[in-house]
Structure formats: structure tokens, C-alpha cells
Structure 1
Amino acid sequence: MEHLTILYRGPLASCDYDCPYCPFAKRRDTPEQLRADRAALERFTAWVAGRSHDVSVLFTPWGEGLVRSWYRRALVELSRLSHVRRVAIQTNLSHRLDWTAEADLSRLALWATYHPGQVAYERFLGKCRELSARGVRYSVGVVGLPEQLPDARRLRADLPPETYLWVNAAEGHTYTDAEAARWMELDPLFGHSRRPHASRGLPCRTGESVISVDGAGTVRRCHFVPAVLGNLYDDSFRAALRPRPCPLATCDCHIGYVHLEPLGLYDVFAGGILERVPAGPPGQLSWPGW
């Protein structure tokens, strides 16, 4: 095995935001649940540290990870490992950012989401500007709800031109061509998110070079296919790694469909698959299906 990409999602579910459109389950984690999440993350970090092959990791917690010290520490520690190509996390940027000074910024990246109504605009923009000043690699995105379009336009105008602003189609929302065009003015790749991709039978890298891992080490091909391939910690998953088609009718989440081979998104996001940073400048992006 030359390189393995891992999407890690431990038991953490508590979040400091309460977005009405968020599809993730929310709870207030008890101290016992937080201790269990910390132990699971530390076990996973130790496993990655012991590998002899290249690894990339994207943390996709149900809640907000970076308000927890163990997630910040894991990102710093993993970024310092020579065999870790990239370590990234999805985050709302509500936390302080001084910890990034301890990380290897050639390997660290953040996938940030702006949630109007949950944070003051200037505070969020200030966090983005701090990331830029610190030299941290990041992308920024919004959910494509009509009421959020003015905020998204303002954010696009205020962000550095080289920062990619992505737009996720709102779950259960359909877009007319005119509505989609307005979002594509901000994110030329919005067409990939606009509708679920018909995926059944298509070749996908998940289950071969990309896996999903939970806090117990259970390995699945991705977050959206429940079939178990084995366990990370007893190495039983390795025998199940092979090329395989997608078994689902559709795939509608970026962390899933980015790995569908016919879409060609590994070329679009070359070097930035996990943090959703395209290889080319935002102003030069285009979606061939539009």
C-alpha cells in the first residue's frame, strides 16, 4: 500500500452551533462521552503515527472538533509526521487559531464553513484573515440557501481572491437554472453539488485507497455505505481493499462524490482533495456540465 486516505469520524457530536439546516445529529456530550472520544482519537493518532506507508486524514466530526484540545493536538502531531501527506478537518472556525503555529503548515489544512446567524460576519471574516496571515491552507464554504446568498456574496468579495469559496446545495432544496447560476457566480463548481450524482455501478476510490473509520476502528468504504470492511486496529480491513463500484443509487455529499472516478475531481482538486481546495485559481474554475 503506497497511500491510504482516511475519513475519521469519532463519537463526538456536541457542537457550539445549532444550525437549523444541519443534517447532523446533535447532542450535549457528557464528560464520559468526551473522554471516550478523546481516547478513540488518541488511539487513532497513534495508529497513524506507526504506519510505514503514506497516509492522509480528514476529520469529519458530527460536532465541532477544534473547540476540543485533543483535536487540535492531533492535527499538530499528525502534521509533523513525514509520512502524512495531509491532515485536515471540517470546522466552523469558532475556536482560537494560535495552535496552528505549532503545526507543519505544508501538511495542515482546514475546511471551514460560514454559518450566518450563528456567528457575527466580521468575526468569521477575521478568522479567515488570520488563517491567511498565518499561512494556513484553507477553503471556506456556505450552504446554498436563498436567504444566505447576500452573506455569501459579501464573503466572496471580502475574501482573498485566491481563497476558494465553495457552495453546498441545501439538503432537500432544488434549484432552477436561474438560481443555480447565481450560486455559480460565487462557486463555478456548484454544478457538482446542485443535484445528487447517479452513482450506482460507477468506479469509486472508496474501498480501495479511501476508507471511513469510526471511533471503534470499524472500517467502511465511506461514511454512506454501511457495509463493514474490517477493523483498523487488527488489520482485518486490508484484505477487503480493492476496486469496486458504488452500490448506492446516488451520492450527494462532496466527501463522497469527490472520489467517484468518472467525475474527474481528483484533477480539479489535485493536491487539495481533503480540504476542498482546487488546483487552479478560483477565478479560472469552470464546471463542464453547465
Structure 2
Amino acid sequence: MNDLYVLYRGPLASCNYDCPYCPFAKRVDPPALLRADQADLLRFASWVTETADRRLSILFTPWGEGLTRSWYRETIVRLSHLPHVARVAIQTNLAARVDWLAAADPRVAALWATYHPGQVTASRFLDRCRRLDALGIRYSVGVVGLPAHYDAAVALRAALPPSVYLWINAAEGHLYTPDEEQLWTTLDPLFGDSVRPHPSLGLPCHAGETAISVLGDGTVRRCHFIPTPLGNLYDGSWQSALRPRPCTNTLCDCHIGYVHLKPLGLRDVYADGLLERIPAAFPVRPSLEPTSPS
């Protein structure tokens, strides 16, 4: 069966958090946009249900927080039970309760969770993680690698089970000293993949071949970062456009993009955990002293 990775992003852009490093912090979507987002998602879910000639792996990458909306929760449960869906995951701040995942297939549903210090207490966030553990749901946890977040990230690593991967995203616009990079790499051995943009112009990429990006209206692109459309999901025009091709961007600096660059070999690193950002193997929890980076 052909494998296809699908990154879906509808018009939803509202979020309940107020992170200073996010342009969508505390944004409120009007009711009409929420209705459109729900309709778009249900249409996409119907397409997934009917497209049984491929093995699909789906990652929802909303600009805002999706799990505070019932239609994302219901769609994840629904898609997790389809035999041709290998994975359905979503990026989330984990603010919403997670008990609804008891109705999902834990072999298929997964979460890419981000901890935002200052927006939620560590105890509340860890309570959500413990509930996911009890439900048997796969998840990764990450932190934006700002100096002010370091102590919180160390404490989070110490509190999480060793089996839970903690990733660190390089903060946009922050230049890391060698000492800072080493501190963050001790927490996340794969931090080096995030800390510097990857030269990508002319390099072969799975995007547009075995991975696509889908917008709410069905527009299909190679990835979120190359706007040229390949066609539309709902008229089938995208299928003939799938083929190996080189990247047309000079740099790729976002995980959901560079994870598909063929020379990096990151599909082998993450394997079945590619969409929820869980490496196939990673070191057990290191022993760290909470010494803040300078």
C-alpha cells in the first residue's frame, strides 16, 4: 500500500494562550470562521475515510489550539479507527482535558504537545501527561528553547517518564552560544537539528512525493513553506503532481519541513513516530543540575 503523509491546516487561528513568541497568542476567531473550520475539517475527514487505496498518516498543524474545539477531538477519534490510517496526530498545548482519547485507538492516535512556561503550571501540564500515560496514548513534549525556559525544561525532563521524548525547538531569532547549545543538547540530543536552518535549495525532499500539505479549502501544496499549489484534494488533480523533486527554498528551518529532507535521513530517525515527533530510539533521562544558560 502506498504511504502518504498529510499535514492539514484549516483556517482556525485562535488560541487560549498568550505566548509572547507566537503571533496567534490570545487570538479570537469569529463564529463564522469557526463554522468554516469545522466544515472544512469534516470534509477532509470524509476524504480520509473514502481514500482507502493508500496508507495515510495525518498531522493536524493548526495555527491556533485545535483540541479546545470538539470537531478536532471527534475527528481524531474517528480517524484513529480507520484501518488504512497508520497515525493521526495533532500539535497541541495540552490545555484541554484528554479523557476523550479513551475512545480513540491508542495504536494510532498521538499528540505532539508543547509546554509553555508562564501559560500553565507545571503540575497541571504534568497531570495531563500522566493521564495520557494511563490511557496508553503516544505523545512527545517540547519546549521553546529560550534562556528563561531552561530551568523549567530541566524540571519537566526530571518529572516526565524516561520513555517520553522531550524535544527543544530553537527560539526564532535567538542566536545560541556554543555553551547554550550544549546545555540544550543535553536535554534533547536532537536539538542540533533545530538550532540552525538547513540549506535546502536543490536538495531532494519527500515533500511533494510522499508528503503533502493540505489547506482547509483542499488546496494541496508540497509543504507548508512552498505556496505553489499541486492541485486540489477533492478533485483528484494533486495525484498526478506527486513525484520526486528538489526543494526550491534556500533554507528550511521548521521541523515539520526539514524532517522530510532526504539527505538528513530523519525519517529513519523517527520511523513510526515521525508525525508526533518521537524518535525510534533516544537516550534515557539524563541527570542534570538546573544551571541556567548565560
Per the normalisation by structure 1, the TM-score is 0.96
Question: Which residue does 1:108 correspond to in 2?
Answer: 109
Contact preservation (8 Å) 2:16, 2:27: no
Deviation of 1:176 (Å)? 1.1
Deviation of 1:246 (Å)? 0.6
| Change beyond 3 A, Cα 1:240–1:26 | farther
Report the count of equivalent residues.
285
| Identity across matched positions, percent | 65
Letter of the 1:195 counterpart: R
Question: Which residue does 2:28 correspond to in 1?
Answer: 28
| Alignment of structure 1 residues 63-212 onto 2, 5 Å | 63-212=64-213
Deviation of 1:31 (Å)? 1.0
Question: Which residue does 2:263 correspond to in 1?
Answer: 262
Deviation of 1:25 (Å)? 7.5
Cα distance per residue 1:19-71 (max 9 Å; x no partner): 10125576311111110000000000000000122111000000000000000
Q: Secondary structure at the match of 1:40?
A: helix
Question: Which residue does 2:19 correspond to in 1?
Answer: 19
* Structure 1 runs, 4 residues or longer, greater than 2 Å off: 23-27, 281-285
Question: Which residue does 1:61 correspond to in 2?
Answer: 62
Deviation of 1:284 (Å)? 9.2
Contact preservation (8 Å) 1:162, 1:282: no
Cα distance per residue 1:186-213 (max 9 Å; x no partner): 0000000000000111110000110000
Q: Which stretches in structure 2 are left out of the alignment for 5+ residues? A: 287-294
Separation in 2 of the partners of 1:233 and 1:201?
A: 30
Separation in 2 of the partners of 1:275 and 1:23?
A: 23
CA RMSD of aligned residues (A): 1.3
Separation in 2 of the partners of 1:7 and 1:24?
A: 19
Contact preservation (8 Å) 1:13, 1:27: yes
Question: Which residue does 1:288 correspond to in 2?
Answer: none
Separation in 2 of the partners of 1:212 and 1:26?
A: 25
Question: Which residue does 2:290 correspond to in 1?
Answer: none
Separation in 1 of the partners of 2:114 and 2:283?
A: 17
Q: Which moved more, 1:275-284 or 1:236-245?
A: 275-284
| Alignment of structure 1 residues 32-51 onto 2, 5 Å | 32-51=32-51
Q: Secondary structure at the match of 1:226?
A: strand
| Change beyond 3 A, Cα 1:24–1:209 | farther
Letter of the 1:95 counterpart: A
